Amino acid sequence: MLKHVRESLVFGRVADLLVSNGFSFPASVPGSRRVAGAALLFGAAALLGACGDNDSVGADPDAAPPPIEVDAAPVEVDAGVRELSIEFAAQVGDLAAACGAGPYAGLGTDGAEVSIADLRFYVANPRLLRDGVEVPITLVQDEVWQYQDVALLDFEDGTGACSTNGNSAINTRIVGTVPEPEDGGGVGDDEYQGLVFDLGVPYELNHLDVTAVPSPLNVMAMYWAWAIGHKFVRIDLVTGDGAWNIHLGSQQCDSPEAPSAPPASGCAKPNRPRIALADFRPGEDTVVLDIAALVAGSNLSADAGAPGCQSFPGDVDECTELFPAFGLSFESGDCEDDCAGQSAFSVAAGSSLL
């Protein structure tokens, strides 16, 4: 049974990628047959590819829609392990956040109107809670959206104002496995209640050579420089007066050859929030990033330097107002009270279980 679940997961993701790249199934084809169709298309593509060039090109979701990279033989899932998918959503208040939508009115302390020009973020080290204990989620290694314990959530689709830096490929979920509860209950039962994840890229992966790492760590639109690493969050907003960007990432990274070499040790300001959602119910809920809540304390008409809050030391005014919504102190770059005061992420009802 678990093998069938695994195969359904793999070819379900193939179907998602086919649709994101412009392929359309007839409306009369149900979901289960779309998955089967994706499996047939994938198999045909594999046969054709075997007759052609053997050169391979690394996936880069920023440069172009990522290729479909799926193991020909699905890996068996160990007994006692359960697969799950956790859905994420992006909103502006009660409205879905989308590149071609808007403008969204009434944001920030000045009631600004904004449109979205980019919307992506990394999550790392996700774990569920069971009896107050954090249980790691082992991410499926597709090296397109997930690599080691890092996943990229990408809500921009290359339309509207997102056409400058974006592309059509999107990803709104993380996929992985967790141990089955010892009493045999499912992941969606009361055995698991709560979700914790880090917003960003772990230090060990944040300062690698971006040209030599798998996707999603090679997305140039989410990268600053070798010394300071990745943008953990990229939310680019277009206002009536120009741009107001939210670029969260580590700062004050001591590199002997900055910016072209990694730091010798951890950055003085890691700026890596811990997001804890105690009321999250696997199988029933969705994680929501609310841009309106994120910028509620910010004046989007003000600009004291670089547009918006880009985590740089000079962004004192903008980032001092914004960082508390992530649970962070701009002065220290660390969580305040374990980031318990964050207001950017919340939980909404909606299935997250395959």
Residues 41, 25 contacting (CB under 8 angstroms): no
Report the 3 state secondary structure along 16-84: HHHHHCCCCCCCCCCHHHHHHHHHHHHHHHHHHHHCCCCCCCCCCCCCCCCCCCCCCCCCCCCCCEEEE
Q: Which two tokens stand for residue 273?
A: 């929030």
Tell me how far CA of residue 118 lies from CA of 69, 90, 92, 282, in angstroms. 25, 12, 14, 28
Q: What is the pTM of this model?
A: 0.77
Distance CA 1, CA 16 (A): 22
Distance CA 128, CA 252 (A): 32
- Top pLDDT among 294 and 79 is at 294
Query: Mean per-residue pLDDT for 136-159?
Result: 97
Name the DSSP letter for residue 251: B
Distance CA 172, CA 145 (A): 10
Residues 62, 154 contacting (CB under 8 angstroms): no
Query: Mean per-residue pLDDT for 279-296?
Result: 95
- Give the N- to C-terminal CA distance of the chain in Å, as an integer: 13
Confidence band for 349, pLDDT divided at 50, 70 and 90: confident
Query: Mean per-residue pLDDT for 239-264?
Result: 85
| Model confidence at 26: pLDDT above 80 | no
In the chain, what percentage of residues exceed pLDDT 90? 59
Which amino acid, 340?
A
Confidence band for 306, pLDDT divided at 50, 70 and 90: confident
pLDDT of 258: 63
What torsion do the CA atoms of 321, 333, 195, 118 make, to the nearest 10 degrees? 60
Distance CA 63, CA 226 (A): 19
- Top pLDDT among 7 and 330 is at 330
Provide the residue ranges of all domains of the chain, joining segments of one domain with +: 1-55, 79-349
Tell me how far CA of residue 252 lies from CA of 125, 195, 317, in angstroms. 23, 30, 18
Query: Measuring CA to CA, which residue among 76, 56, 58 is closest to residue 66?
Result: 58
Query: Measuring CA to CA, which residue among 126, 142, 269, 143 is closest to residue 203?
Result: 269
pLDDT in tens, 169-212: 999 999 999 998 766 555 555 588 999 999 999 999 999 999 99
